[in-house]
Amino acid sequence: MPHNDFEKLLQEAVDEGLSSLGESAKQAIYYHLERMFSIKKEEIPCNVEAFAEGMEKIFGQGADFLEILIMKRLYEKTGLRMKGRNSEDLEFAEYVVMAKRGFREKKVGKAEKLSPR
């Protein structure tokens, strides 16, 4: 179960990215991730590297397409802009780490603006 706002947004982004393949395909992917790689749907935000590895084993290079969809959804949800790096420069898990850092910084910035001085 997600513990914070970012993990919830990541879980939603994964779900929406996989939904692009259709509901049946999405459910089949979650089934295979859990059965073959012991990755439950609700554990993905805490186990991003294993999720990415499972996706690569299931889809091969096709996993890149889904990971890009998921990252686009995540960055939209967090209100962040993806930095000007090539998608080949970073792995999926590294993009998640960057998004998490940016989300936290954005949240801290908002909190500082709202707090009385």
Comparing CA positions, the residue from 45, 42, 36, 47 lying closest to residue 7 is 45
pLDDT tens digits, one per residue of 59-116: 999 999 999 999 999 999 998 887 655 555 668 999 899 999 999 888 776 655 545 5
56 and 43 Cβ atoms separated by less than 8 Å: no
pLDDT, residue 107, reads 75
- Give the model's pLDDT for residue 72: 92
Q: Cα(45)–Cα(10) distance, rounded to whole angstroms?
A: 6
Class of domain 5-114: mainly alpha
State pLDDT tens for residues 24-71: 999 999 999 999 999 999 999 999 999 999 999 999 999 999 999 999
